């Protein structure tokens, strides 16, 4: 079926992203998965090392907040953990969401956010972000007409 859609001239994409990692990155998170995790642009090893390749896209800080410099690194890590949860790469119900939320708070403080604002950020994700980590909220593939285009591998 995919071949038929492409023959008709469509592009496929996902919406909802504001930022894209420009260079490879890695950070020790202290969050240990039951087995190594790998997605298209991020991985988490058995020592808690979170690695991004160039091109990882994320939506940055969410909710009624500002995308300030002290928030960006934490939101990048947080978004990757939530993506791993949505994709079923990290098992639900084992505390990974809460660990990701705590990591967000710690990274925000480490990067210059005030403790009170980081507390509000943490309370906000604990209260309202749960659905974002659920598989039913995977980003949908959207189609748009693109006459004459062909999809390639990769």
What are the C-alpha distances in Å from 134 to residues 24, 51, 60, 100, 138? Answer: 27, 22, 18, 14, 8
Return the pLDDT at 43. Answer: 96
pLDDT, mean over the chain: 85
Report CA Rg, the chain. Answer: 17
Residue 83 · residue 132 · CB < 8 Å: no
Model confidence pLDDT, tens digit, residues 68-126: 999 999 999 999 999 999 899 999 889 999 999 999 999 999 999 999 999 999 988 88
pLDDT (average), residues 115-138: 77
The answer to whether residue 21 scores a pLDDT higher than 80 is: yes
Return the pLDDT at 6. Answer: 46
Return the pLDDT at 39. Answer: 93
Return the pLDDT at 1. Answer: 41
Indicate whether this model's pTM tops 0.85.
Answer: no
Rounded-to-integer distance, Cα 41 and Cα 71, Å: 21
Range among 48-52, 89-93, 125-129, 140-144 rated most confident: 48-52
């Amino acid at each position: 079926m995919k071949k038929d859609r492409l023959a008709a001239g469509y592009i496929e994409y996902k919406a909802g992203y504001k930022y894209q990692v420009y260079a490879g990155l890695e950070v020790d998170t202290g969050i240990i998965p039951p087995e190594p995790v790998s997605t298209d642009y991020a991985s988490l090893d058995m020592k808690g090392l979170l690695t991004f390749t160039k091109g990882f896209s994320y939506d940055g800080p969410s909710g009624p907040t500002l995308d300030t410099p002290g928030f960006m690194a934490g939101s990048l890590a947080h978004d990757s953990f939530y993506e791993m949860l949505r994709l079923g790469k990290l098992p639900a119900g084992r505390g990974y969401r809460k660990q990701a939320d705590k990591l967000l708070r710690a990274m925000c403080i480490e990067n210059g956010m005030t403790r009170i604002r980081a507390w509000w950020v943490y309370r906000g994700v604990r209260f309202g972000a749960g659905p974002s980590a659920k598989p039913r909220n995977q980003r949908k593939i959207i189609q748009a007409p693109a006459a004459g285009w062909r999809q390639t591998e990769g």
